[in-house]
Amino acid sequence: MHNPALQACGIDAQYVRVQVPIGQVQAAFSLFQKQNFLGVNITIPHKFEALNAVDVLDPLASQLGAVNTLAIRKGKLFGYNTDGPGFLRSVQEAFAADVKDLRILVIGAGGGAGRAVAVQSVLAGCKNLLLANRTESKLQPLLAELHQRSHGGVTLRTCSLDAQHLAQHLPEIDLIVNATSLGMKAEDSALLPAGCLESRHLVYDMVYRANEPTKLMQQAKAVGAKQADGMCLLLHQGAISFEHWFDQPAPIEAMRAGLLAA
Ligand SMILES: NC(=O)c1ccc[n+]([C@@H]2O[C@H](COP(=O)([O-])OP(=O)(O)OC[C@H]3O[C@@H](n4cnc5c(N)ncnc54)[C@H](OP(=O)(O)O)[C@@H]3O)[C@@H](O)[C@H]2O)c1
């Protein structure tokens, strides 16, 4: 999506993929700097290591605990997180809704992506957040952090992933976010028990699969619920990276077309 964006804006640059071994993020950043790179996207598993490898850390990246975008300006390394704001924009685009007005369930809140969604939602003014994770003990530090950030202004609850608990809580939820890796493989079991989705639910699956929709997307479609998959997040986090690098609006339709073509 970035090469079509560069082309659409007439920018004489190229987006390339570089594999970096774990533990070598700082060394890689120095090399990019020397080679006159303008910016970098950082993905799994380097987003946490990148936090400590920049000269200037954006406050939001610090709050979300991960850097996925580097901008190199006058030899200085600036670290940003565009996953969180990308989530907000994609919810707005897919559902014409604002996170602050929704009661949100984040499944997989103990993982990196789920944590970012939960923290970003609270920062964006969400008043009602329900967190679930297979390993429930991972939710406790996040709960404490969210309580601190929201100064008690948010109703924060946890629920277990068993069918009975989920079915009990889903009537009080508007937006359901899957931030687990469940759904990446066709043979993965369904995330939600059958029969608990309603047509009024907004269903957001961070997972994306090129060939066929995930089971969660299929369940949502079957009941007539609005859906968004991970492609939407991929697009918008990329667009915000582009804006950091070039200080101009991203050519979103060129990027969307590039993404779909890829
Ligand atoms: N669309 C995008 O641009 C975008 C961006 C970021 C992430 N993602 C997607 O989001 C997902 C999570 O990424 P991440 O970086 O957060 O990974 P992560 O840090 O490894 O977290 C994985 C999460 O999935 C849960 N999980 C794994 N297997 C499970 C299962 N069988 N049943 C229930 N829960 C299970 C884990 O629970 P435990 O804590 O119990 O292990 C944990 O909460 C991935 O599918 C990734 O592709 C998409």
Instruction: Dump pLDDT digits (tens) for 206-227.
Output: 998 877 899 999 999 999 999 9
The predicted structure's pLDDT at residue 7: 98
What pLDDT is attached to residue 209?
Answer: 81
Atom of ligand 1 nearest to the CA of 135: 40
For 84-230, which CATH class?
Answer: alpha beta
Ligand 1 pocket test target in 138, 181, 191 with most atoms within 8 Å of CB:
181
Task: Enumerate residues lining ligand 1, CB below 6 A.
Answer: 44, 83, 108, 110-114, 133-135, 138, 179-182, 184, 206-208, 230, 233-234, 237
Q: Atom 24 of ligand 1 has which residue's CA nearest to it?
A: 180
From the CA of 162, how far away is ligand 1's center (Å)?
17
Alpha carbons 102 and 28: distance in angstroms, whole number = 40
> 2-81 and 84-230: same fold?
yes
At 36-78, the pLDDT tens digits run: 999 999 998 999 999 999 999 999 999 999 999 999 999 999 9
pTM as predicted: 0.94
Q: 151-207 pLDDT, tens per residue?
A: 878 999 999 998 889 989 999 999 999 999 998 888 998 889 888 999 999 999 999
Strand arrangement of the beta sheet that strand 226-229 belongs to: 155-158, 128-132, 103-107, 175-178, 202-205, 226-229
| pLDDT (tens digit per residue) in 71-111 | 999 999 999 999 999 999 999 999 999 999 999 999 999 98
Q: Is 130 helix (H, G, I), strand (E, B) or coil?
A: strand
Which member of 47, 100, 138, 221 is catalytic? 47
Domain boundaries, the chain: 2-81, 84-230
Crossing angle for the helix pair 83-95 and 230-246, to the nearest 10 degrees: 120
CA–CA separation, 100 and 120 (whole Å): 10
* pLDDT tens track for 111-126: 888 999 999 999 999 9
Is residue 47 part of the annotated active site? The answer reads yes
Give the position, in ligand 1's atom list, of the atom nearest the Cα of 138.
39
- Compute, in angstroms, the gap from residue 182 CA to the centroid of ligand 1: 7
Per-residue pLDDT band for 248 (boundaries 50, 70, 90) equals: very high
Residue % of the chain over a pLDDT of 70? 100
Q: What is the pLDDT of residues 134-153, one digit of tens each?
A: 999 999 999 999 998 888 78
How far is the centre of ligand 1, averaged over its atoms, from the C-alpha of 111 (Å)? 6
What is the second-level CATH architecture of the domain 2-81? Answer: 3-Layer(aba) Sandwich (3.40)
**pLDDT given for residue 212 in this prediction:** 87
pLDDT score for 151: 80
Mean pLDDT, range 13-32, rounded to an integer: 97
